[in-house]
Amino acid sequence: MRRVFAFPMIWILLVCALSFSSGEAAQGEQISGNYAYLILPDGSAMITHYNGNDSILEIPDTLDGRPVTRIGAKAFQSADSLLLLEVPEGIVAIESYAFMYCRQLTEVALPDSLREIGSNPFVGCESLSDLLVSPSHPCLSVEENVLFINEKAGANAIRRLICYPMGMPAGPYDIPEGTNVVGDSAFYGCSALTGITIPDSVTAINNKTFYMCDGLKSVSLPHDLRTIGAEAFWSCERLKKISFPEKISEIGEKAFMNCRGLRELILPEAATSIGSMAFQNCSNLTAVHLPAGISILGQKVFAGCKSLTNLELPESVTTIGNGAFSGCESLETLELPAGLRSIGSYAFSDCRGLKSISIPDRCTGIGAYAFQTCTALEEVHLPSDWYEIPKFAFAGCVSLTSFEFPEELEEIQERAFMNCIALHSVKLPEYLVYLGEAAFMNCISLAEVVLPDGFFEEGAAGPDVFASCPSLTHPPDLTGLIEN
């Protein structure tokens, strides 16, 4: 049964008399008491903002004589005074996050007229425990205080879990069989959730579904699951293990970011797409098995995985994105696949345990800062046909004692070897025509530099190329080559 909240007439009149004080209305918005609204094409009203401080609220079914049919996205956001809420008959749609961060809200009654609900309207409602829906509602149902909606009909019917209230008691939860979709942000911030079992009827986990469920310890994924959405398990810090079904093909960006409890990661062979930052800051992750078909490792995909020691890149990998392994400070060895074509900026920066790296001949280049502050790096092999070493590429590699430059190298960009304090000699290749600003600055052990014969005739240089190199008793005089 829905609960109906009674309001004395004098209170209603007082509320209607209050001015809307949140600033000027957005273009096209109308103001009526504590509500801003838009007039829809059919002449009905959609509430876009609430500016009141009621603790018990029955949303009006009309505004200025117009029937209210929709509640807009984030319309009641951060209405912290709300405790009890009734949505009136006549409302047919509640848009995404309509009541987000109403932190004191404990109970909501929804009308029989409601047919559409966007992404979890009650995200961040940390006190919410009761959702009230009529047992005879044509498309909504509440089971164990969890809100579902039946969308479409007949053979195309889809049952979506909309909201698992944040105020639920601590413990595990089994999603009912027959659920097809676990909606965006459905379990957002449910710290009391300790375990989740997802039935085989579910084939996709949407964006932010279990976002910041920091009490979640166990997850059972369905056999036919294909995709895991962006930020789906973001900051589930107590999750130590997850077994991926064989049919998983896509893991969205930031899907497991900040899951600091994860120890090992075995991705199925069907997984061909791993989003940017998918496992960033999984700081206790020690081993990763990647599928043979993966070709792109996206931006910061394993950045900050500081315990990672066991990693084998499959031969299918052609691209390592920006910052992909940045801060993987325990990674000591890594064999790059022969088919690798590009390494992005910061890709291995701050990999302080990495001792050697051999970049395959097919790789056409590395990005700026690619190996910056790899403090244990002693040996580097680059393809012979590279024409450029980008800025800060090996800056701060304090264990490098020598460096073999590619035969066809033409340019060394700014600060590429700055602070390589163990580097003692440099023989630059014959085609070199440019030395960037402070390229070898503060290489305090550098005692010998050999420049190609034609450099002083055709070359150019930035300022301070060999600045603060006290062991270099006769530094090359580049004064006449410094660019303006």
- Overall average pLDDT of the 455-471 stretch: 91
Cβ–Cβ < 8 Å for 95, 73 = yes
CA 427, CA 468: separation in Å to the nearest integer? 19
Residue 323, judged by CB atoms within 10 A of its CB (0-12, 13-18, 19+), counts as buried
CB atoms within 10 A of CB 88: 16
Residue 479, judged by CB atoms within 10 A of its CB (0-12, 13-18, 19+), counts as exposed
- Overall average pLDDT of the 126-148 stretch: 97
Given this model, what pLDDT does residue 457 score? 82
Confidence of residue 479 (pLDDT cuts 50, 70, 90): confident
Q: Taking 70 as the threshold, does the pLDDT of residue 148 lie above it?
A: yes
Strand partners, 445: none
Q: Taking 90 as the threshold, does the pLDDT of residue 1 lie above it?
A: no
Considering the segment(s) 9-117 as one domain, its CATH architecture is: Alpha-Beta Horseshoe (3.80)
Residue 308 backbone zone (phi > 0: left; psi -120 to 50: alpha; other: beta): beta
Mean model confidence pLDDT for the chain: 93
pLDDT (tens digit per residue) in 253-307: 999 999 999 999 999 999 999 999 999 999 999 999 999 999 999 999 999 999 9
CA 290, CA 375: separation in Å to the nearest integer? 27
Give the predicted TM-score (pTM) of the model. Answer: 0.89
Cβ–Cβ < 8 Å for 345, 319 = no
